[in-house]
Structure 1
Amino acid sequence: MGSRWSDRDYVGVENYERMVEDDHVRSSVGVTLRFAAIVLVAELVIGMGLALLLEKPIKGATVFRTIFILPLMVSPVAVGLIWRYLLDGRIGLVNHYLGLIGIPPQTWLGHPDLAFFSIVITDIWQWTPFIFIILLAGLQALPSEVMEASRIDGANWRQMTFLIKIPMLRSILLVTVLLRLIDVFRALEVIFVMTFGGPGRSTQVLSLHIYKTAFTSQALGYASTIAVVLMFIMLVLSLVLLAFSNPLKERADF
């Protein structure tokens, strides 16, 4: 008696060939790349701005820091539920307050562009604190001698920020981008709860497409193939970023 695998045929690279021709995969890759580019840039800009704002000891800084990191403490599923109800077209608080200033209610999760905008805002709200914490720690760890010498030489705030502080944080910035890039490529829970990839495929990132392929279509082999390609893409991007970021070499040069 043969095993239950005896009637299975080895498909070779057929799944990879199928993936190349799959419109759903191409669409999901496009959504993922667009989503990653927007949220990474926005989170870096906002996170750096907040870190620079709260770098110095000011009155109430501890309270502000605590408030800023609160979204990071909420589970992704809870974040998805919170924003799903906030953006609900009938009972959502967002539409309620927009109505108070004369803006008509919007179907935030029912329109392709608005749904994509909604998951972007949600991700920025949840993960900007992560970048804020890392960059704030990096700013506070910069050598005080360099900062003092720059002030003595007459450097103003703009020069101090863009010519001294940010260049010295290059390695930290690149590592932070790498960590967030990995998170973005495997983002699933929030989008799953808020839109489930809809309307249409407007918010279907690649990780969600893999989930649907594996557990809705029950095509486990094909889903594994897409997951392998996703892992390869993340590996290549990680190696590229790490090639530009070598903290040990920079520390030795310094």
Structure 2
Amino acid sequence: MTVLTQSRKPRFAAETMTPYTFITPAILVILGGLLYPVFMAFYLSFYDWEIGRDLAKAPFMGVDNFVRMVQDPQVWEVLWVTLRFGFWTITIEMTLGVALALLLEKPIRGASFFRTIFILPLMVSPVVVGLIWRYLFDARIGWINYYLGAFFGIEPQVWLGDADLAFFAIVFTDIWQWTPFIFIIVIAGLQALPSEVVEASTIDGANWYQQVFLVKLPMIKSILVIALLMRLIDVFRGLEVMLIMTGGGPGRATELLSLHIYNRAFDTQQLGYASAISVLLILIVFAISTAILTMANPMKSKSDV
């Protein structure tokens, strides 16, 4: 028995380590692609560096960039714009995405056609999306003004020239582009639910409302949290559409934090200061993501404590 036990130990160790051996290269690549840029952002935030200058000769600023960031009203202004943008887009996209998924989860006539139509915006690159909606919202030649005037008698609006209308325009564009993303994830989760559970709730007398909010959605809670986190991250790194549509204007009405970082880094060549703001962006996303995961798994967090 002792010999057999000793012979099984190497085999057990090899079987245990084999999966980790296969995934180690992928983990190293991911960590390298993640940790190195984050480390460089922290490192550059302590220097006054611009493109073309030798980093070794860049003046050391210490925490001056962070002090400047805290005292800079423009940073807090664009952060407020980003938070407002994220609240409206994520709230509406999650609501519409889940509603469309619940509507089209059953094999009704035309469901496949509508599913294909709904995911088309995801196939368009952000730059093209920005160009399309920039022309649609154009005050002179845009189709939106034309049809609003033709069918409702509304006077032409300067959509991208007014602060409130421009903010509405970028929110509407983001909803058009990313609601299909939520729709795809949620409908995949709904169709993967075991039919026995839904049938059992029907036998127990549950109506449609009870099945949706007490059975289906709680069972795909983890999927909804993942979709929420992915959209949250996308909101904070959104750049191309706003850059093409409005350039952050008028004023800073549509300038998200990521676009502000881009402008600081490449328009004004303040890469050290832009890196300090990037650190703020990383910390905000990390804090919000942690809060969402904690609220989504309260029992697990309590047991860990």
TM-score (norm 1): 0.93
Deviation at 1:144, TM superposition (A): 1.0
* Structure 1 residue corresponding to 2:165, chosen from 99, 111, 114: 114
Please tell me whether residue 181 in structure 1 is matched to residue 232 in structure 2.
yes
**Which residue is 1:99 aligned to?**
149
Deviation at 1:239, TM superposition (A): 2.1
- Between Structure 1 and Structure 2, which shows a larger proportion of helix residues? 2
Q: CA, structure 1 residues 5+164, in 2 after alignment: closer, same or farther (shift >3 Å)?
A: closer
* Structure 2 residue corresponding to 1:211, chosen from 242, 249, 262: 262
Q: CA, structure 1 residues 227+4, in 2 after alignment: closer, same or farther (shift >3 Å)?
A: closer
Deviation at 1:7, TM superposition (A): 5.7
Letter in 1 for 2:275: S
In the alignment, structure 2 segments of 5+ residues that lack a partner are 1-52, 301-305
Letter in 2 for 1:23: P
Where 1:62 maps in the other structure, the secondary structure is helix
Deviation at 1:244, TM superposition (A): 3.8
Q: CA, structure 1 residues 4+159, in 2 after alignment: closer, same or farther (shift >3 Å)?
A: closer
> % of aligned pairs identical?
62
Runs of 4+ displaced beyond 4 Å: 3-8
Aligned residues: 245
Letter in 2 for 1:52: L
Q: CA, structure 1 residues 180+6, in 2 after alignment: closer, same or farther (shift >3 Å)?
A: closer
Deviation at 1:54, TM superposition (A): 0.4
Residues 17-58 of structure 1: CA deviation (Å, up to 9, x unaligned): 000010110001000000001000000000011000000001
Alignment of 1:212-231 (within 5 A): 212-231=263-282
Where 2:258 maps in the other structure, the secondary structure is helix
Please tell me whether residue 14 in structure 1 is matched to residue 61 in structure 2.
no
**Which residue is 2:197 aligned to?**
146
In the alignment, structure 1 segments of 5+ residues that lack a partner are 250-254
Query: 1:175, 1:242 within 8 Å by CA — same for their partners in 2?
Result: no
Please tell me whether residue 57 in structure 1 is matched to residue 107 in structure 2.
yes
Residues 166-222 of structure 1: CA deviation (Å, up to 9, x unaligned): 111211111110000000100000000000000011000000000000111110100
Letter in 2 for 1:44: M
**Which residue is 2:214 aligned to?**
163
Deviation at 1:232, TM superposition (A): 1.4
How big is the alpha-carbon RMSD for the aligned residues of Structure 1 and Structure 2?
A: 1.5
